[in-house]
Amino acid sequence: MKALIFAAGLGTRLGSITKRMPKALVPVAGVPMLERVLGKLQGAGFSEAVINVCYKAEMIKDWLRDNPFPGMEIKLSVEPGGEPLETGGGLRHARGLLTGGPVLLHNVDILSNLDLNWFASKCGASALASLLVTAPRAEDDRFFLFNPGDMRLAGWTNRRTGEVRGAIRGVPGAPEDALSAEECRRMSFCGIHIVSQDIFPLLESWPEKFSITDFYIKEAGRHPIYGIPAPADFKMTDIGSPETLSEAGRALAGGAYSTR
């Protein structure tokens, strides 16, 4: 299995830190985020990884030259035009580097204690995509909606606004037997997912820039996309602000995250 690390974002919520370096190279407890994610992949036995880059891409290229990962072939998918293509556009742009089987997608700003091999073992061969999810987090307003029986993705909702999208009863175009939002299981997405090669032809009709979560929501009623609940001892930090950057550093100091 190959891996794609999403690392093209501007990281604007980190303020002045990302004015001088790409988010992927921002250190967490002295070690760049990218190094921590690559180390996790390496520890799990991955031998091939692709990193999608855009903002300050040359800095990442130079860093990789100076920081090799023995036993891993690492390639860059450089997004043109100076603006990131977002996760969906970035995945499509990297298609030529991701042939041969399922692909693990991992946000560069996610640190966790997830056993990646355990996650891969839980993903069904027939799934278009399998998403690592947790019970709703207090800080989240937006959730994926799943069939509580088989954890197939049905749609999405915004708790704050009440908006509902996808193959959900009451949403235009939803099937007659669709579940209501209230009948679904609400889960938070963790930014770690596995997709099959079958996803790439479906991405072709989408605009140049788009979010992969928007794709999942739209395709939920037509293709098998499933949620994989994280283990009970799962811990993660989504580094999106100076506060969560500090939180991740404290978690690492406390031994919360393993390298695998």
Give domain 1-113+235-260's CATH superfamily: Spore Coat Polysaccharide Biosynthesis Protein SpsA; Chain A (3.90.550.10)
Calculated CA dihedral for residues 201, 202, 207, 213, nearest 10 degrees: -130
The set of long-range contacts for 27-32, using a CB threshold of 8 Å and a minimum separation of 24, is 28/111, 28/239, 28/245, 28/248, 28/249, 28/252, 29/248, 29/249, 29/252, 29/253, 32/63
In this prediction the pTM is 0.95
Q: What is the pLDDT of residues 194-242, one digit of tens each?
A: 999 999 999 999 999 999 999 999 999 999 999 999 999 999 999 989 9
> Residue type for 235, please?
K
38/254: higher pLDDT: 38
Tell whether the torsion through CA atoms of 247, 250, 254 and 260 is positive or negative.
positive
Residues 6+ apart with CB under 8 A from 78: 53, 54, 57
Q: What is the mean pLDDT of residues 135-154?
A: 92
Q: How confident is the model at residue 12 (pLDDT cuts 50, 70, 90)?
A: confident
Lowest mean pLDDT among 13-17, 72-76, 154-158: 13-17
Residues 6+ apart with CB under 8 A from 10: 18, 23, 55, 84
pLDDT for position 260: 55
Domain ranges for the chain, please list them: 1-113+235-260, 125-190+198-234
